[in-house]
Amino acid sequence: MNAPTFTLIMPTYNHGRWIDHALRSIFDQAPFTKEVLVMDSVSTDTTPEILASYGDKIVWTRRKDRGQADAINQGLSRARGELVAWLNSDDMYLPHTLARVHAAFAANPELDFVYGDALEIDQDGRILTPNLFTEECSRERFYYSHDYICQPTLFLRRRCLEKVGLLREELKWFLDYQWLTRFFAAGLKGQRLPFFLAANRDHPQTKTNSGGFRRWREIMGVLASTPPPGPTIFARRCVWIYSLEYLIKTGNALSWGADESASRDAREGRAAILGWLNHIFMRLVAPRSFDDILARFHRDVVRHGNTIHDLWSRAPAMSVVV
């Protein structure tokens, strides 16, 4: 049997509210041969019924895993496709993503991985904002500033797995960042595609939003254990960027600046502090593609609507040119 063009791995647990949208965003793409491996950690909601409805279009493994990295690694180990990616079951691909990714790899046989821009959406699929932190591929920026590769937009050639290995299964929050550091250490050639490729769903239950101090501690551990040559960890801008991010996310998660039990003066003071932290955060990150992303967001997304459903309903009218 010929190998499929794409292997797409989907780890899931109790995402019955969203998993059908995630799968449809795969199967509504151009008709490349696709191997879709769904790693279900014994969901107890409507997920099993939804997965069963896809029949032999998916390969569904139902087993208790040791965490997300374990589930993804099981899929990576079984992958047969030339091009490999994983899509979390609360995220979605955007129209023409697979066509654009395939065209980029076909145009450059030496290319090892690609990624693109992402949209942030809410629980109901409303488009909130573009992710403003994606940048052109740079080893130094990745090591010393921030993770500018939004995971749902990442695709790589399967052959590269021999060089970088699998995800570290003890990691819960920073598993993709640590994995990507090995891409750069192995000298893989990456490219940013100037398109919105995926939608990242923002809701309170995401690991990023609910990780709190444990997430920050894991991040610091990863940064300390995999330092690149150069300044010590405390001299690296990324330490302060991720620490500020932790403070901001904590304040937002606690509704610190909008606590109705606090006085108006207290709320305004807290909101001012969060605003100041966000200002310092943006100054530290200094995103290099801010204006470009915003311009393409208004040109390629806003004019088609304000929900993911709007984008998919307009998909035939959207340009596929790479």
Q: What digits encode the pLDDT tens for the residues 70-103?
A: 999 999 999 999 999 999 999 999 999 999 999 9
Q: Which range (150-164, 174-188, 218-232) has the least confidence?
A: 218-232
How far is residue 301's CA from residue 49's CA, in Å, rounded to a whole number? 33
Phi, psi of 117 (to 5 degrees): -90, 160
Q: Do 61 and 38 meet the contact criterion of CB atoms below 8 Å apart?
A: yes
Q: What digits encode the pLDDT tens for the residues 94-123?
A: 999 999 999 999 999 999 999 999 999 999
How far is residue 113's CA from residue 201's CA, in Å, rounded to a whole number? 23
Helix (H, G, I), strand (E, B) or coil at 127: strand
How far is residue 134's CA from residue 139's CA, in Å, rounded to a whole number? 13
Q: In the chain, what percentage of residues exceed pLDDT 70?
A: 91
Q: Return the higher-pLDDT residue of 62 and 255.
A: 62
Helix (H, G, I), strand (E, B) or coil at 199: strand
Quote the pLDDT of residue 92. Answer: 97
Q: In the chain, what percentage of residues exceed pLDDT 90?
A: 76
Q: What digits encode the pLDDT tens for the residues 38-59?
A: 999 999 999 999 999 999 999 9
Crossing angle, helix 68-78 and helix 175-185, to 10 degrees?
50
Q: What digits encode the pLDDT tens for the residues 270-294?
A: 888 888 999 999 999 999 999 999 9
Q: Do 40 and 61 meet the contact criterion of CB atoms below 8 Å apart?
A: yes
Every domain range in the chain assigned CATH 3.90.550.10: 6-209+289-317
Taking residues 128-134, what's their average pLDDT?
95
Q: Do 86 and 11 meet the contact criterion of CB atoms below 8 Å apart?
A: yes
Question: What counts of helices (H) and strands (E) characterise the chain?
Answer: 13, 9
Short-list 1, 6, 55, 57, CA closest to 30: 6
Length of the chain, please?
A: 322
Taking residues 166-184, what's their average pLDDT?
95
Q: Is the pLDDT of residue 198 over 60?
A: yes
Phi, psi of 254 (to 5 degrees): -90, 5
CATH of region 6-209+289-317, choose from 3.20.20.120, 1.10.3720.10, 3.90.550.10, 3.40.50.300: 3.90.550.10
Q: Is the pLDDT of residue 208 over 70?
A: no
Q: Report residue 168 as tokens.
A: 């570290």
Element (H, E) at 47: helix 47-52
pTM as predicted: 0.92
How far is residue 169's CA from residue 149's CA, in Å, rounded to a whole number? 20
How far is residue 52's CA from residue 58's CA, in Å, rounded to a whole number? 9
Q: E strands within 112-152?
A: 113-121, 127-130
In order, the DSSP letters of 210-254 are H-HHHHHHHHHHHHHHSPPSSS-GGGSHHHHHHHHHHHHHHHHHT
In order, the DSSP letters of 178-218 are HHHHHHHHTT--EEEEEEEEEEEEP-TTSHHHH-HHHHHHH
Q: Report residue 255 as tokens.
A: 């509704």
Q: Return the higher-pLDDT residue of 36 and 266.
A: 36
Beta 83-86 vs 6-12: how paired, if at all?
parallel
CB atoms within 10 A of CB 237: 16
